[in-house]
Amino acid sequence: MKLVTYITIVLMLMSLLSAGVLAASPEGNGGNNGMGNQENGAKNQGGGQDRVSVSGGDEKDKNGVAVRSRDNREEYFAAKQRLQQLNANMNSGKISAASKDVFEVRQDYLLETIDYTIYNLEELKEKVHGSQREDADAILSDLDIHIAKLDAEKGNVENATTTRELARSARNIRDIWRDAVKDAYKTRTKFVDDKVGIYLDKSVSLAERLAKEIETLEKQGVDTGKLEGLLEEYNSLLEQARQNRERARGADQNGDERSRGYWSASAENLKEANSVLADISQILRTYRQGVVTLNGDGMLVAEGNGTAVLSGNITTEMTIVDAQLVIKDHAGDAKVEIIDNNSELVLELDNSLADDPKRALVYSNLTGKVSISGSRLTVMVKGNDLALSVEGTGNAVLSGEGTYTAGTDEYGKHWASRFDSGSEEDSAQEE
């Protein structure tokens, strides 16, 4: 997941951590017998926002929907809607508070609330498991305690026979939830802080590299005014993100709820910085040697010694000598043919027809002719006396010594003598 997307999601989740998920007030309220006015509570809490949710490993249906998460959420909100309708009917005098239906709807709502809360805490545990944090064991222990308390309370709700007992359970669930929210908020805050810190650390060296590249272009007589302005804007946004991060950390340490606003502002700064970075990269790409964007118009033809990395929906023909060849077929539809130097067939593969597609192929010391096509390919070839042609849509990176023409180029360009394999966007957004 890209960093800015990750931060946005986490901040959104942090904003949803509220005891309002219970929507069942422990306070008595007229004829509601201690269960609270659900309709007003829902309005005050902004409908169905009050929940913890983390993208997890649910099974997917044919449309890619997380089935377990969707069903759990729908059951909870269906129970909540039934309770809201019940309260409305009681307030209007259509049903008595002593009705058996009132008890059953309230009991069902509390059970669904417990299941929904436990599910979301389990999802948070999965996230912590995958985080490799030093304090993961302590966090998991706290979450297990909250889950155990909710499980125990579920038994109380199932065995309850009066609305007073349900009201007592509602209060207990609320208290457990508040403690869980407090712990979850701390956990998510640390996630966000770590991610923002990693991004900002990488941005320092990235900005320095961009400045040197722009300076080189200026010495070559290129008008770099626009690039310099964009780089200044990029650095300014990063500084704003850094300041908002510090404000958020300070506010969080003091228990100030404004920390959420500062985190959100920091994430927005980084999002804008990435947009500026994309503009810088687009301009620089037109001046770089060895970096080619394939847009389906024309062909890339290259010869040289070094490394060529091709990616996208492409078709390529190449002649290689004593080379290393790596083919990754991300879509499972690649067609590959390799004929060695003695005109003998080494491989003839059509993954689109194979029961068990080969997603990765690796060859060393290979000499011969290679034909490759596919809709989502990554191909790396490394060696001397390379000759290749590529057409389609995607990207190509040529590093070493050689020349190439691409599209409508009339004059040959040189392979990059040194190439940082990650683009600016990838370097900045990498997790």
Average pLDDT, consecutive stretches of 10 residues, N- to C-terminus, the chain (431 residues): 45 38 37 36 34 39 52 86 89 85 90 89 82 78 91 93 90 87 73 82 88 87 93 95 92 83 88 91 81 88 95 96 95 95 91 90 95 96 95 93 83 69 43 37
Q: What interhelical angle do 100-129 and 163-219 show, nearest 10? A: 30
**Is residue 425 in a domain?**
no
Task: Identify whether residues 7 and 138 lie together within a single domain.
Answer: yes
Residues 278 and 296 in one domain: no
Give yes or no: residues 246 and 329 share one domain: no
User: Tokens 């007992």 belong to which residue?
Assistant: 165
Q: Is residue 422 part of a domain?
A: no
Residues 316, 249, single domain; the answer is: no
Tokens standing for residue 108 = 């069902």
Select from 285, 319, 340 the last residue of a domain.
Answer: 285
Report the pLDDT value the prediction gives residue 211, as an integer from 0 to 100. Answer: 92
Name 351's Cβ contacts closer than 8 Å, sequence gap at least 6: 329, 332, 333, 334, 335, 357, 358, 374
Could you tell me which of 395, 396, 413 has the C-alpha nearest to residue 404? 413
Would the pTM of this model clear 0.85, i.e. be above it? no
State whether 95 and 162 are in the same domain.
Answer: yes
118, 122, 239, 261 from 144: Cα distances, Å? 10, 9, 39, 30
Q: Is residue 426 part of a domain?
A: no
65 and 144 co-located in one domain = yes
User: Per the domain annotation, does 311 fall within a domain?
Assistant: yes
Selection from 214, 238, 236, 237 nearest residue 226 by Cα: 214
Would residue 281 count as lying in a domain?
Answer: yes
Range of the domain at 362: 291-415
d(CA 93, CA 75): 27
Helix (H, G, I), strand (E, B) or coil at 365: strand
Closest CA to 22 of 155, 160, 146, 167: 167
Are 19 and 166 in a shared domain?
yes
Identify whether the C-beta of residue 389 lies closer than 8 Å to the C-beta of residue 327.
no
How many angstroms separate the CA atoms of 53 and 10, rounded?
9
Say whether 238 sits in a helix, a strand or coil. Answer: helix
What's the one-letter identity of residue 68?
A: R
| pLDDT in the model for residue 68 | 60
Same domain, 16 and 67: yes
- Three-state SS string over 175-207 comes to HHHHHHHHHHHHHHHHHHHHHHHHHHHHHHHHH
d(CA 300, CA 391) in angstroms, rounded, equals 6
Cα-trace Rg, the chain: 30
Q: Which of 231, 252, 285 is the last residue of a domain?
A: 285
**29 domain-assigned:** yes
Domain assignment present for residue 394? The answer is: yes
The answer on 325 and 298 residing in a single domain is yes
Looking at 270, 285, 300, the residue that finishes a domain is 285
Q: For residue 358, give both structure tokens.
A: 């080969």
DSSP string for residues in 290-335: SEEEEESSS-EEEEEEEEEEEEEEEEEEEEEEEEEEEEEESSS--E
Q: Do 331 and 356 fall within a single domain? A: yes
* Residues 153, 243 share a domain: no
| The total number of structural domains that make up the chain | 3
Q: What is the dihedral of CA 384, 390, 393, 394, to 10 degrees?
A: 0
Is 431 within the bounds of a domain?
Answer: no
- Do residues 17 and 165 share a domain? yes
